Every structure is written in C-alpha cells, then in structure tokens.
Amino acid sequence: MNIILLGAPGAGKGTQAKRLTSERDMVQLSTGDMLRQSAESGSQIGIDAKALMDKGELVSDAVVVDIISRRIDQPDCAKGFALDGFPRTLEQAAALDVMLDEKNKSLDAVVEMRVDDVEMVARIVGRFTCANCGEGYHDRFKTPAVEGVCDVCGVSDFQRRADDNANTVTTRLMAYYKKTSPLIGYYFAKGKLVTVDGMGTIDEVTKSISNVLDQVDGSAKSQSRGLLGSIFG
Ligand code: ADP
Ligand code: AMP
C-alpha cells in the first residue's frame, strides 16, 4: 500500500508513519529526515537545505523531488511506503504523479490529519527525539517512562530540532497554509483524500488511520476480485 500522510508541521505525521510502517510492512519516507541526514553528511545540497529549514522555509521542489524519486527506486519501497512531509506543493504533487506513473506505481490513499493551530504549535515546541534510535517524544504529551531514558533503546541522549522553536513556527505554518493546504483539494478531486481527526491521543489517531486504511485495502481487494470475477467468472 502506498500512502501520503498530509498535515501541518507537528500534526503527528512522523509519529503515525513510524507506527503504521511497523504494523503494515511499509517504509516511512520522510523528506525532512532525508534532508537532515543530507545536511549531517556535509553535502552541499544538505547544507543549502539546512539554511532554509532553519528559517522554516521550504526547500526547492527540484531537490526534494529528486531525493524522493531516488528513494522510491530502492527495493524496500516495493512493499509499500508512507510519504511523510512530501509532497508539500502542487508542483511536487504533479511531479509525484508523473514519477509514480513512470515507475508503474500508484497511490492508494492520502490521509489528511487535521489538527488546530494552537495544538500544532504546542506539539512543535515540545518535540524531542532519542539521538540514538530516533524515537519521538514530547515534553507534555509523550514523556519517556523513566525520565531521561529512551523507552525503546535505553540510551540517555536526546535531541531537539534546530527549527522547532517559536520563531520559525509562524513561517512554517504559513508555508503549510499557502503552499501545502491546496493539496487537500488536489487529492479530494482525485478521489484519494480521507481526513482523520488528529486532535486525539496518539493511540486514538493510530486507530482512526488504521480503520481508514483497512477500508481502503478492503475496497481495493474487492475491486480486484470483481475484475477477476468479470474476466473468469
Ligand atoms: P510531524 O511529523 O507531523 O511534524 P510529529 O509526529 O513529529 O509531527 O509530532 C510532533 C510532536 O507531537 C511530537 O513531539 C509527538 O510526540 C507529538 N504528538 C504526535 N501526535 C500526537 C498526538 N496525537 N497527541 C499529542 N502529541 C502528539
Ligand atoms: P519536516 O521534518 O517534515 O517537518 O520538514 C522539516 C523542513 O524540511 C521543512 O520545514 C522544510 O524546510 C524541509 N522540507 C521537508 N520536506 C519538504 C518538502 N517536501 N518540500 C520542501 N521542503 C521540505
């Protein structure tokens, strides 16, 4: 199954992508993570991207489209993927359509996670992750069971993103409203959009998304049975 998780910064895309991919045998494709890795590796593209990311601005379409296209070609994406943070503009969405066509792949669903602005800001400013395994946490909404120790790997080394601060939040939210939110209409018109309430607890949101994906999966299977039935039945 190939899906997009669509939502403003802090909506919970990464959190849910990690859960989905462990439950459903798909891979998480986060352009934000890929760009941060590229910056850490010291590549010029990564360094240029970091300057924009630290200000809360979007990186150019050409750079992220190229990164995603190469990543989708890797064998592990054959089992299915959850795009997290891509596409973020109509141009990226159009490039994704072409790219998937060329690669003989298609999108099963676009899951929009709807969260209000006050909650988004609270989620962004309180976010931190384990520096060792990448598990995500929050100062108020998801603290480690033992203070200062990662629940997953037991390491006591946490980090915060350079762009997760009150100064960049407005720029990032405005980039979402101006450039990314038009994708809601784009995918609605293609019959791919499903919207879930992202305001519940992490478990509640996981359940809503799982229900939606079960329905999408079920209807895809019954359609293909119907097609086989009409050929062989
Ligand atoms: P995104 O990938 O959309 O930017 P994240 O998944 O990183 O967002 O979530 C942002 C922050 O909010 C993280 O600290 C995460 O632990 C927390 N979070 C995610 N989903 C929820 C939720 N449903 N309720 C409360 N906090 C959440
Ligand atoms: P994220 O980790 O998804 O919150 O992304 C962090 C930052 O990376 C964003 O604020 C952008 O600067 C950049 N970025 C990530 N994905 C994209 C994308 N698809 N298009 C443009 N910029 C992106």
pLDDT digits (tens, 9 = 90+) for 76-126: 999 999 999 999 999 999 999 999 999 999 999 999 999 999 999 999 999
Q: Give catalytic status of residue 172 as yes or no.
A: yes
Among the listed residues 209, 213, 212, the one whose alpha carbon sits nearest the alpha carbon of residue 12? 209
187 lines ligand 2 (CB under 6 A): no
Q: State the ligand closest to the CA atom of 111.
A: 1
Q: Count the Cβ atoms, other than its own, within 10 Å of residue 74.
A: 11
Confidence band, pLDDT 50/70/90 cuts, at residue 233: very low
27-30 sheet: strands from edge to edge: 27-30, 81-84, 2-6, 109-114, 193-197
Among the listed residues 126, 145, 108, the one whose alpha carbon sits nearest the alpha carbon of residue 5? 108
Active-site residue, selected from the candidate residues 13, 19, 36, 71: 13
- What is residue 91's predicted lDDT score, i.e. its pLDDT? 98
SS3 state at 133: coil
Contact 49, 38 (CB under 8 A): yes
- Is the pTM value of this prediction over 0.85? yes
Q: Which residues of 25-34 are buried (b: 16+ CB within 10 A; e: fewer)?
A: ebbbbbbbeb
Among 19, 31, 127, name the best residue to mutate to test ligand 1's pocket (greatest count of ligand atoms within 8 A of Cβ).
127
Active-site residue, selected from the candidate residues 19, 36, 123, 172: 172
Contact 124, 15 (CB under 8 A): no
**Residue 197, beta-bridge partner list:** 114
Q: At what angle do helices 166-175 and 44-55 cross, to 10 degrees?
A: 100
- What is residue 52's predicted lDDT score, i.e. its pLDDT? 97
Distance 228 CA to ligand 2 centre (A): 41
